Structure 1
């Protein structure tokens, strides 16, 4: 119940039913998407969600736009860097070696998650300067996005997507590639691995191969097509822009989005990773073993973030170095903890294996702690002196 000072009216069930009845045919239409409008940096954007199947069928790569047709490498899907294209290229080249690992990740990990994709809406008139949507000064008279507001403030509404509208991934092209690979795997039962330049390498992975190692049931794998992912739409051109200004804006957005993203350091990854068995074992032992755990009467022994130890630092080692040591020490015993390919998320070991790994690492640290140099640490000498 609302308080006396709360002006928000109670929702009317009849109103909710009327809204649902109004939206139902629109939401089931392939030409409409329910979105919320945002405004930042002079560019309107529209945020919604779509199924993986919709994304596979309706979103492409910038290299597939008509203006790149003459300079598109049909084998790699990348645009040739020549005088005619260098100012129009909007994103980095596609790396096809990433498709299989990303598709495999989605199909094998229960807690899989992709961030929202940033995509550009580009109707056919954008690349036709003779189209009536351009004025005699070469400026667009309307936005490339057709949005119909449904509320009084025009914040919630419908995005109209007609057959002549191209949608391409600006940030998230490799996520799209992984989703496309997953859809191909589900529809055909197999997926061919590629090199970076899309040359077939090795044998195709089959759906049966995936089901044997997946944490998902066959039914859950089949239902991946209807999972949803966030998507943010921006216009290829806004009213008042020339084509050159619009291109600069879109390229800048791509650069800025990627420039602001900071990768986790290896130490931070080892601290947070819930899938890599070596990371889990390392951090659990690091906070419980007497040689490494923090104590009130001494300086910390571990640098949790940095990859290096300064000459005057009182820490003994870094979490990253400990994790690498653990991987070398336990790697032969638990080879299946390793990711089958760089960039692919490993499968989390079961609790019994993790406990076994922790016991082995504790025994190693017990042996190290018995060495004379480490005994000096226990007597109060600091690491800079020993170093």
Structure 2
């Protein structure tokens, strides 16, 4: 049954809540209980978080083993059992601040904060009995209802608060408040060494067209916080510490990270990710059809041995980036770690159109045309030494696909060659087996993308493969660059200190290794 309040009751209740909400030393909260752990959920401003909440490493318990520069605990035999958090990564602070400052729909999950009055770390405090067990909880909660679920949580200044879960969110919030107060924020390496140029309010305002007044209002935005007591009634100091540490481990174990493919699928800011997933559902070579198995692995960044997928969504994003970053360099964030701005609809349509044209040409390669004849991708992808053997074709390996498309991006947008001319050569190269038999010494990709000693793909050869494809199409345009490429190719083909294998499959000196003939 819903109780309807009259105007007088509403006014009285509003006045009561106004009085409660303006108390600086307490917070209106809702009590929770899971297992033996009680919690109290409320909301506070970002400014309050920056002022009151500390990192776990700043507790008195760790002061003698605390690095004041990095805010991390010094690991040794004494502290290894006391560590409750992973080290802070200060390189993330600037990107988190930028996210809060320029993203209209920004949102941080709630913080899990441990509440610890001073007596918790004083063994001689009266709150510990003769058995060194706590006679009361670290949290002082005053209920306001008969069920004791809603009330006021004491948060006096002498109570320490530290982030058990959300230390990097706290890092971002602290950075934001510092930026708002001083107008600048230094960028740091992981270990808090200043690196690069500082982030400034002027830069954010000009680059992202954000009013400075609206930036200043960010400090009063509110975030949810759940407080848990550092010590429960009846606990010893050691038992309390282990409980808190256990909660931290459990919180992190329960949180499953999204795969790279899932991130690409959900990303609404990265133009390359948006174009890649639209391509995956619209291009005939990739989209699902009743006539063939799915050709895109949407979740994993790799393709399993017997998968019928042609590529992965992550590889498609890498291909989109490798090809479209030339005409649309601004689709990438200005600095690593920052969130890119979503391109406008017109630009996204243009980028997708360019990708579709590229894949129209890719679909004309003889290797891909075999799919129309019903040949399955594992038969074209597997190496000869794998079960049932296979074609060992570079075009059916995500790393090979990315290397090829990166080369095509350079050829089209830097060398200004047409796709028609490029693919006339590539079709001839493919028809002659140029992309097949990667696991044979006669293959250009042997030692480059195929590791003969481990008999598997080696991703580290991707950039060299890209340069070799460019060379196959354009030939030698720069003598120094050609010498450098030959040296890298010879190194990739070297089996021992003074033995390399040439494209005829013969053992020779590394100095005798030559680049392949152009197409």
TM-score class normalised by the smaller sequence? over 0.9
Distance 1:156 1:341 in 2: 45
Distance 2:193 2:308 in 1: 51
Q: Deviations over 1:303-339 (max 9, x none)?
A: 1112222333222111111111111111222222223
Number of the residue aligned with 1:236: 230
Q: Which has the higher contact order (CA 8 A, sep 6+)?
A: 1
* Structure 1 range deviating more: 155-164 or 124-133: 155-164
* Structure 1 range deviating more: 293-302 or 179-188: 293-302
Query: Conserved in 1, the CA contact under 8 Å of 2:201 and 2:212?
Result: no
Number of the residue aligned with 2:50: 56
Deviation at 1:131, TM superposition (A): 0.6
Deviation at 1:258, TM superposition (A): 0.8
1:115 aligns with 2:116: no
Distance 1:374 1:84 in 2: 61
Q: Which of 274, 281, 298 is residue 292 of structure 2 equivalent to?
A: 298
Q: Which of 74, 79, 96 is residue 102 of structure 1 equivalent to?
A: 96
Q: Which of 240, 247, 266 is residue 272 of structure 1 equivalent to?
A: 266
Map 1:336-347 onto structure 2 (within 5 A): 336-347=330-341
Distance 1:50 1:22 in 2: 19
Number of the residue aligned with 1:221: 215
Q: Deviations over 1:113-141 (max 9, x none)?
A: 11111100000000001111111000001
Distance 1:280 1:130 in 2: 60
Distance 1:374 1:85 in 2: 58
Distance 1:203 1:305 in 2: 36
Distance 1:11 1:361 in 2: 61
Q: Deviations over 1:229-261 (max 9, x none)?
A: 111100000101000000000001111111111
1:156 aligns with 2:144: no
Normalised to the residue count of structure 2, the TM-score between the two structures is 0.71
Change (3 A) 1:194 1:384: closer
RMSD of Structure 2 on Structure 1 (CA): 1.6
1:147 aligns with 2:135: no
Number of the residue aligned with 1:68: 62
Change (3 A) 1:142 1:289: same
Change (3 A) 1:21 1:286: same
Query: Conserved in 1, the CA contact under 8 Å of 2:109 and 2:224?
Result: yes
Change (3 A) 1:199 1:307: closer
Change (3 A) 1:215 1:301: farther
Map 1:1-387 onto structure 2 (within 5 A): 7-214=1-208, 216-387=210-381
Unaligned runs of 5+ in 1: 1-6
Query: Conserved in 1, the CA contact under 8 Å of 2:115 and 2:228?
Result: yes
Query: Conserved in 1, the CA contact under 8 Å of 2:40 and 2:227?
Result: yes
Deviation at 1:71, TM superposition (A): 2.0
Distance 1:138 1:346 in 2: 54
Deviation at 1:183, TM superposition (A): 0.6
* Structure 1 range deviating more: 326-335 or 160-169: 326-335
Deviation at 1:13, TM superposition (A): 4.0
Task: Classify the secondary structure of the residue corresponding to 1:230.
Answer: strand
Distance 1:79 1:305 in 2: 36
Distance 1:215 1:122 in 2: 42
Task: Classify the secondary structure of the residue corresponding to 1:91.
Answer: coil
Unaligned runs of 5+ in 2: 382-519
Deviation at 1:12, TM superposition (A): 4.2
Deviation at 1:341, TM superposition (A): 4.2
Deviation at 1:194, TM superposition (A): 1.4
Q: Greater Rg, structure 1 or structure 2?
A: 2
Task: Classify the secondary structure of the residue corresponding to 2:72.
Answer: coil
Distance 2:147 2:209 in 1: 45
Query: Conserved in 2, the CA contact under 8 Å of 1:304 and 1:318?
Result: yes
